[in-house]
């Protein structure tokens, strides 16, 4: 990924017809956690109506509390993938927390005739799960979205990306998602999107920002704009190539992170504002 002295490979890649590099912009709006088919359908339909071909859908959820909803796991994959195919979604960012999930995803996609593609997401709690990274690195079918570890240095997180590349998979996107602060106030995490250009300077990876998990709420600035939108704009203006953002048709019913989800009718303006930031800068 550009951090090894002998590494001269090109930046960026194309997967399932979608190109990811250090100059483009791909939006992955979707559900933090898959809950019921109706919500997945509404989300994917809205994406299709707004010309989107990527989404985020959480099936395997890493939770801090063992008694919280842990995601539907492989049980929801068939209907999520079928709905994605129906609505022209080409890439779903989906977190995995164990290497066996790669096989589950692969098996399901194969059985359905690959109606969509999957980008394997490694969450902030697993950034230094080196055995998981090595297992994901050994498979070269799916690109990887690696989140920055929320309590380690940037350098340590960038080295984690090398675990994927050194095992054979260099189709990696690096995601900034905020750093833990003591009180978690005023935002859930300290927004770190000023590091977008630093990551692009230090590596060849396209850089993603996750304003939802950084901000963690639907608070608004005095100008009336949602903090999630302000953070998104900061990230895109700083040069982000991908945005991972939570939406939900009924946030009050969401099983994970409802309070930070944007509403379906906010999608068109959100997409328009992002494009404006990208085109202007």
Return residues touching ligand PEP (CB under 6 A): 32, 58, 95, 123-124, 147, 177, 210, 213
Choose between 14 and 153: whose C-beta lies nearer to ligand PEP. 153
Nearer to ligand PEP, 2 or 247 (CB): 247
> CB-wise, 58 or 211, nearer to ligand PEP?
58
Shortest separation between residue 178's beta carbon and ligand PEP, angstroms:
8
CB of 223 to ligand PEP, least distance (A): 27
Cβ of residue 61: shortest distance to ligand PEP, in angstroms? 7
Nearest CB to ligand PEP, comparing residues 26 and 124: 124
Q: Can you give the three-state secondary structure of the chain, one letter per residue? A: CCCCCCCCCCCCEEECCEEECCCCCEEEEEECCCCCHHHHHHHHHHHHHCCCCEEEECCCCCCCCCCCCCCCHHHHHHHHHHHHHHCCCCEEEEECCCCHHHHHHHHHHHHHCCCCEEEEEECHHHCCCHHHHHHHHHCCCCCEEEECCCCCCHHHHHHHHHHHHHCCCCCEEEEECCECCCCCCCCCCECCHHHHHHHHHHCCCCEEECHHHHHCCCCECCCCCEHHHHHHHHHHHCCCCEEEEEEECCHHHCCCCHHHCEEHHHHHHHHHHHHHHHHHC
Q: Between residues 52 and 124, which has the closer beta carbon with respect to ligand PEP? A: 124
Min dist CB 74 to ligand PEP, Å, is 17
| CB of residue 183 to ligand PEP, shortest distance in Å | 18
Q: Which residue is nearest to ligand PEP (CB)?
A: 123
């Amino acid at each position: 990924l550009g951090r090894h002295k002998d590494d001269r490979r090109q930046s960026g890649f194309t997967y399932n017809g979608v190109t990811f590099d250090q100059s483009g912009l791909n939006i992955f709006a979707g559900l933090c956690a898959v809950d019921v088919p109706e919500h997945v359908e509404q989300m994917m339909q809205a994406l299709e109506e707004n010309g989107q071909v990527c989404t985020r859908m959480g099936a395997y959820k890493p939770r801090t509390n063992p008694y919280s909803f842990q995601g539907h796991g492989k049980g929801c994959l068939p209907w999520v993938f079928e709905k994605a195919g129906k609505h022209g979604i080409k890439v779903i960012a989906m977190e995995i927390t164990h290497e066996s999930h790669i096989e589950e995803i692969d098996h399901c996609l194969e059985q359905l005739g690959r109606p969509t593609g999957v980008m394997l997401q490694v969450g902030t709690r697993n950034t230094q799960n080196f055995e998981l990274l090595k297992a994901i690195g050994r498979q070269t079918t799916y690109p990887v979205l690696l989140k920055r570890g929320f309590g380690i240095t940037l350098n340590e997180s960038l080295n984690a990306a090398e675990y994927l590349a050194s095992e054979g998979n260099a189709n990696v996107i690096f995601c900034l998602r905020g750093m833990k602060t003591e009180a978690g106030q005023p935002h859930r995490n300290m927004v770190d999107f000023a590091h977008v250009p630093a990551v692009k300077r230090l590596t060849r990876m396209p850089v993603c920002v996750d304003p939802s998990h950084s901000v963690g709420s639907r608070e608004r600035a005095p100008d009336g704009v949602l903090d999630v939108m302000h953070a998104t704009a900061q990230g895109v203006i700083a040069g982000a190539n991908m945005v991972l953002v939570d939406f939900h048709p009924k946030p009050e019913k969401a099983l994970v992170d409802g309070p930070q989800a944007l509403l379906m009718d906010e999608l068109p303006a959100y997409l328009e504002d992002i494009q404006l930031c990208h085109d202007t800068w």
